[in-house]
Structure 1
């Protein structure tokens, strides 16, 4: 059951990233771009989580997962700080 949850989380993040980046293409709002990129990195994080816990349980991918989480939050934080318009 946990495997299904991991896959659904990755698909949800990918759907959010797709919708946000499509909206950014239409309107060119900077915050939409940063949010879309953030969710794209979170999608990668969820795929790494699935790989770490289900596909390759003998390997430890926790450092890569933590790095992608930090990168995704960093992208959004950068967008929130520097987007003053």
Structure 2
């Protein structure tokens, strides 16, 4: 059951990233770009969760997952602080 939930979370992050990038291509609002980048990295983070918890449960990837989550928040934080509209 956990594998299904982890996989659905990864697919949801990927879908959000694709939709945000499509919206950015149409409207050219920079916050959509930063949000799309953030969700792209969150997709990688969720992929690491699937690898860590389902595929290779004996290997601890928690540090890599935390670093990935921190990196995922940085583009969104940059966009919220420095972009003006």
Indicate the TM-score class for this superposition, using the shorter chain for normalisation: over 0.9
Q: CA deviation at 1:15?
A: 0.3
Q: Give the structure-2-normalised TM-score.
A: 0.96
Q: Where do 5+ consecutive residues of structure 2 fail to align?
A: none
Q: CA deviation at 1:42?
A: 0.5
CA RMSD of aligned residues (A): 0.7
Q: Where do 5+ consecutive residues of structure 1 fail to align?
A: none
- For 1:27 and 1:64, locate their aligned partners in 2 and report how far apart those are by CA, in whole Å: 34
Counterpart for residue 19 of structure 2 = 19
Q: How does 1:1-85 map to 2 (within 5 A)?
A: 1-85=1-85
Q: CA deviation at 1:65?
A: 0.3
Aligned structure 1 segments of 4 or more residues deviating by more than 4 angstroms:
none
Q: Give the structure-1-normalised TM-score.
A: 0.96
Number of positions where the alignment pairs a residue of Structure 1 with one of Structure 2: 85
